[in-house]
Chains A and B, each alone.
Chain A
Amino acid sequence: MTRLIFPALIFLSFLFLPVLADLLGESVLRTMGARIMIYAICAASLNLILGYGGMVSFGHAAFFGIGNYVVGILYHHYASGEPLWGLIPGSNQMLITLPAAMLVAGIAALIIGALSLRTSGVQFIMITLAFAQMLFFLFVSLKTYGGEDGIIVRRTNALFGLNMRDKTTVYYVILGVATLYFLALWRIVNSSFGAMLSGIRQNERRMAAMGISTYRYKLYGFVLAGMSAGLAGALMANMLRFASPDTMHWTKSGEFMIMVILGGVGSFLGPILGSAAFVTLETYLAGWTEHWPLVLGLILLIVVLGTRGGIKGLIDRLLGGRS
């Protein structure tokens, strides 16, 4: 039971954050909370392949950005009334746009993964980075969809007739999706597939000697992670009411990696803590100096050198528990 206290605490903090924000009159807290949850989904999906599966992907923002654009493009066609390629009608329904974002991101992950997982190590890092940058420049060149200015989504997608103009409602929708996501991720990590993935991280040669063709399993994990990142990107487009090519820039991939490392590579709750730390630092340091990435870099250095297992590892050791 003690293992459930920490996740429950995190859930309750997010549940009451808007109440606290209203009490303090600091609506920025609610916005930060929503961003933390969305980034946490994306960082956790990167952690699935990086922390559990040992695949250091430096192009994870590609899938985040694809999810972002699926919402933007579907809204664009919904508003103009013209179907995409004369075939696919636009939509402003969240029950359509979120699954569509996951589907398209998953297909992209299948293609990128199928090619890049033939390599490993540094080559894998560089190839995933190259694919993500290719997508970035592709979307920057798409003048129909605003080029480098991106697409403005006038209204947040509709869901069950809720009043999505209300920021707090959107916040709780994001909390609901994030909660479902982390419950699903918990199942995946503890499934038969999760055990295989963990084995592949530790020793691919041994897994092959057990009769496991590791490529299939890695590709499967890569696609699952890509779909999750697409979900996060779709939520971000809904929250900011804006789809932008910046969401697939390589610096975004770097940010997701920083969140995973800050929180604790290969720990389940680490990405949530990492995302919270990143967004908090970004918000307050950016208000203090425009050179905030320098301070972030120093903090990252301290965390990497000074703690084993990031913030989650530090908390575990402070509580005297297991690492």
Chain B
Amino acid sequence: MTAILTVTGLCKRFGGLTATDNVSLEVKTGEIHALIGPNGAGKSTLINQLCGELAPDAGRIELGGREITHDSPEDRVHQGLGRTFQITSLLEDFTVRQNLGLAIQARAGGNLRIWDRVGARRSIWAEADRRLGESGLAARAGTPVADLSHGEKKQLELILALAGEPRLLLLDEPMAGLGHVESQQMIAGLNGLRGHVSMLLVEHDMDAVFALADRISVLVYGQLLMTGTAEEIRRDARVREAYLGGEEELC
């Protein structure tokens, strides 16, 4: 299998703190790859470098064989990189349908036009309605985002990211703050995408990680401890030591 994302020797220092310490990592095409680690391990710093909001001090990032290390976040999106935010980041005044329409419009292009009518771009709104119909938010299409529940906002984050038709999806704690039922729905939703889109999943919820991940990478103090299958991670003594302070079982 070829790699969709290849990270080589990535480093990021904040003053004396090395938040990303020579991390090399590969996400294979079609796989769901989870990134776990205790608080402060540098997961968010790594994600922010991958999506371009932070510039690494050293190292190389490739998406589908093409180097994107120094590309802007927008350019990475055009290269096929999608993301969701840990703390939901949506257009609060717009309705669910308008949010989705704008995401599709952004992908479709032609947005410097000042003399057309956005309401008349039929293909955009047809696609928005189709994507909403396939999601659990169809009934909330006309609701302003500010009035959505936390779980619904998390769902919309995922729908918006998918509207960009990414090749690789960076999911920054999609389960954070969700109740049990909502988590189960999110896991089912992500499972349904398996094979269609590659994913790098940062998550604290171990049930979700073990349910979804084909492979898991463990990050500790900015360093990559190991990468392996769920079973290998569960068995590894170093992971247990670092992650759970020597507790018996990992889950």
Contacts and interface: CB of A to CB of B under 8 A. Distances in A.
Interface of A: 187-188, 190-196, 198-199, 202-203, 205-213, 216-217, 220, 224
The CB with the most chain B CB atoms within 10 A, among A202, A207, A211, is that of A211
Interface string B77-99: 11000110100011111100010
A203 B92 contact: yes
B229 interface: no
Interface of B: 51, 72-74, 77-78, 82-83, 85, 89-94, 98, 101-103, 105-107, 110-119, 121, 160-161, 164
A196 B113 CA distance: 10
Contact of B89 (A191, A206, A224): A206
A213 B113 contact: no
Interface of A is mostly: helix
13 contacts: A188-B114, A190-B118, A192-B110, A192-B113, A193-B112, A194-B114, A194-B118, A195-B102, A196-B111, A202-B92, A207-B106, A217-B112, A224-B114
B106 A212 contact: yes
B92 to A, nearest CB: 6
A191 B114 contact: yes
Nearest to A185: B114
A211 B164 contact: yes
Given A193-B112, A203-B92, A210 B118 contact: no
B91 A202 contact: yes
Contacts of B118: 190-192, 194-195
A208 B71 CA distance: 13
A211 B114 contact: no
Given A191-B116, A192-B121, 5 more contacts: A192-B110, A195-B118, A196-B111, A203-B92, A213-B72
The CB with the most chain B CB atoms within 10 A, among A208, A209, A220, is that of A209
Contacts of A187: 114-115, 117
B160 A210 contact: yes
B113 A190 contact: no
A192 B117 CA distance: 6
A203 B112 contact: no
A210 B117 contact: no
